[in-house]
Amino acid sequence: MSAGCANDRLVHLPPGPAGGLTPPMAAFELMLRLEREGFTLTVDPVDDAIVVVPFSRLTEDDQVLIRRWRPHIVAGLRYLPPTCA
């Protein structure tokens, strides 16, 4: 029996106005780490590119990870959490 790998883990975010989200944990953790390190991530509305500020501080490894998890990061940035009533 295989123990799996870290990329198999998922995080479940509850449904909000636009639905729920279940990204791979690695993508979610990358977004959280970059935010903790002072980066701002947004999605360019014209071409869906991920905009990272300040880009000059990204390591090559971070750039590779952002490209790898791009669809999940874009979905995470567009996720709207549920609101409290």
Give the count of domains, the chain. Answer: 1
pLDDT of residue 73: 93
64 lies in some domain: yes
4 lies in some domain: no
pTM: 0.76
Residue 4 has pLDDT above 70, yes or no: no
Reported as a single tens digit per residue, the pLDDT across 73-83 is 998 888 877 77
* Residue 50 identity (one-letter amino acid): I
67 lies in some domain: yes
2 lies in some domain: no
47 lies in some domain: yes
Residue 72's domain spans which residues? 9-78
Cα-Cα-Cα-Cα torsion 54, 56, 61, 65, nearest 10 degrees, comes to 40
52 lies in some domain: yes
1 lies in some domain: no
